Amino acid sequence: MTTKTTFDHHLVFVTGPSGAGRTTAIRVLEDLGYEGIDNIPLSLVPRLVEGAPLGHPIALGLDVRNRDFNATALIELIDSLTRDPRVGLEVLYLDCAPSVLIQRFSETRRRHPLAPAETPAQGVEREIDLLAPIRVRADHLVDTTELTPHDLKAEIASLFDAGPTGRLSVSLQSFSYKRGIPRGVDMIFDCRFLANPHWQPALRPLDGRDPAVESFVRADPRFAEFFQKVSELLLFLLPAHLEEGKAHLAIGFGCTGGQHRSVAMAEMVGSALAEAGWPVSKRHRELERKAATVQPDALKVTNA
């Protein structure tokens, strides 16, 4: 991540497929002190950096609805601004599973901008293909498939709100390998070799945040050395990443079901890093997924 005080102009391009939460992300950035501009024609973006420094960062919403938008033009714009020594540019790409994008369009009965007379599925497919080269160029990739606006706000804040100290913020995520590796993580630790609480009837309905599950995981003779080495490695790496200008590091812990071992490890490592003075946020993907079955998905827009 670029350092905001280093450049005359600090820009964040917010892009991704329609329905992935771009508008929500821009509002969050505005709350963090950014000036938000949505759907500005690409040809006008260079004018934003022609004048004197504004004294505050700018978040630009860019997607297929922008006038004169095309992937090649956006990539060329990214390249030109990156070469400008006055400009600190970051690209935030909001990703989302196609099935969820289709569901969101269907529920809101909105027409997809790339398929106004066709099905949302056709528009979603076209847009994902169109944005593929831009996704590769992103500095930050946030998957909103299972995020509520509250979750998205926390994720954006961890990426772009460095706070008064400018410290590196750390995001710890637990997940199930059966449901795939989370997108956007920087490093992953596999916890499946540890003894599995799932096979203990009394522990099965609990999760890794419960003291009984934590005690069971800690009792594995391999745990102490594993925990020590992971903690020492991260405490060694975090200052190095901070020196390189990185503002956020996402670390994943995986196990078979994403309920016990990975959750316990994320919680314990998170506590160790917090005690060492690092800003830490934790997310347990599979536990959130269970909770979502009884809570409305706040990212979905209900019809009036």
For 12-36, write each residue's pLDDT tens digit.
999 999 889 888 899 889 888 889 9
Rounded to whole angstroms, the Cα distance separating 86 from 7 reads 5
Quickly list DSSP for the chain.
---TTTSSEEEEEEE-STTSSHHHHHHHHHHTTPEEEES--GGGGGGGGTSS--SS-EEEE-STTSTT--HHHHHHHHHHHHH-TTEEEEEEEEE--HHHHHHHHHHHTPPBTTBTTS-HHHHHHHHHHHHHHHHHT-SEEEE-TT--HHHHHHHHHHHH--TTTTPPEEEEEEEEGGG-PPTT-SEEEE-TTS--GGGSTTTTTS-TTSHHHHHHHHTSTTHHHHHHHHHHHHHHHHHHHHHTT--EEEEEEEESSSSSHHHHHHHHHHHHHHHTT--EEEEEHHHHHHHHTSS--TTSPPP-
pLDDT at 131 over 50: yes
Backbone angles phi, psi at 73, to 5 degrees: -65, -40
pLDDT band at 299 (very low <50, low <70, confident <90, very high): very low
pLDDT 10s digits, 45-94:
898 888 788 788 999 998 887 777 888 888 999 999 988 888 888 999 99
What's the pLDDT score for residue 159?
Answer: 79
pLDDT 10s digits, 241-295:
887 767 778 899 999 999 999 999 999 999 999 899 888 888 898 988 776 554 4
pTM > 0.75:
no
Determine what percent of the chain is predicted with pLDDT higher than 70.
89
Task: Give the domain ranges of the chain.
Answer: 9-160, 169-292
What's the pLDDT score for residue 162?
Answer: 54
Considering only 142-146, 225-229, 250-254, 258-262, which range has the smallest mean pLDDT? Answer: 142-146
Rounded to whole angstroms, the Cα distance separating 288 from 229 reads 28
pLDDT at 304 over 90: no
CATH T-level fold of 9-160: Rossmann fold (3.40.50)
What's the pLDDT score for residue 163?
Answer: 53
Sheet containing strand 87-95, edge to edge, reads 35-38, 58-61, 9-15, 87-95, 140-143
